[in-house]
Amino acid sequence: MKRMPRHTLWISIAGVLAVSAYAALAAVQILVLNPLAAAPGMTLEEIRAEMAAANESLGHQTVFFVLGIGVALAVGVAVVSMIAKAPPIVPGMSFLALLMCGVVGYFAASFTAGMGLADTFGISGADYSPWALPLYGVSAGAAIVVIVGGIAMATRNRTSTAPA
């Protein structure tokens, strides 16, 4: 019977925590930090009241649904990796790919809120809070690691299978 590598368990735990932290920061950015930065001088309650009066909202359900997809995928990767007793590289690269794609989920989740703020306050739907930058940085860093890791694995496999 094949045993699960211990590193697979720890990578799976760390990966689920990293993706969950990314989603949590994205939710706080979309629902709290960006509205406060987009409408300076107003409280969050005042912003929500103005948006409701304009028949707009921050789209809480959309935010949690879209960001929840990433967390669900992370849990799925962890479960499958542990059941399949996958080598650590499998969950490692999978979690990095999820973090890399997190910026797409952030954009999709923030679209409704951004448009609601834009329509209510006559501003652009862009990020006003600098707290989106760490999300972009994590996704870019994960993309670099995935690309470099893929090249390293391909190179290593090519040199280990080359005839002498």
pLDDT for 99-158, tens place per residue? Answer: 999 999 999 999 999 999 999 999 998 999 999 999 999 999 999 999 999 999 888 877
Q: Are 78 and 18 in contact (CB under 8 A)?
A: no
pTM of the predicted model as reported, rounded to 2 decimal places: 0.91
Length of the chain (residues):
164
For residue 87, give the 3-state DSSP assignment: coil
- Tell me the per-residue pLDDT of 39-97, one tens digit each, with 9 for 90 and over: 999 999 999 999 999 999 999 999 999 999 999 999 999 999 999 999 999 999 999 99
Domain ranges of the chain: 6-161
> Residue for token digits 């290593």?
156
Q: From residue 135, give the alpha-carbon distance in Å to each of 31, 102, 126, 163.
A: 15, 8, 15, 44
- Identify the residue whose tokens are 């669900």: 72
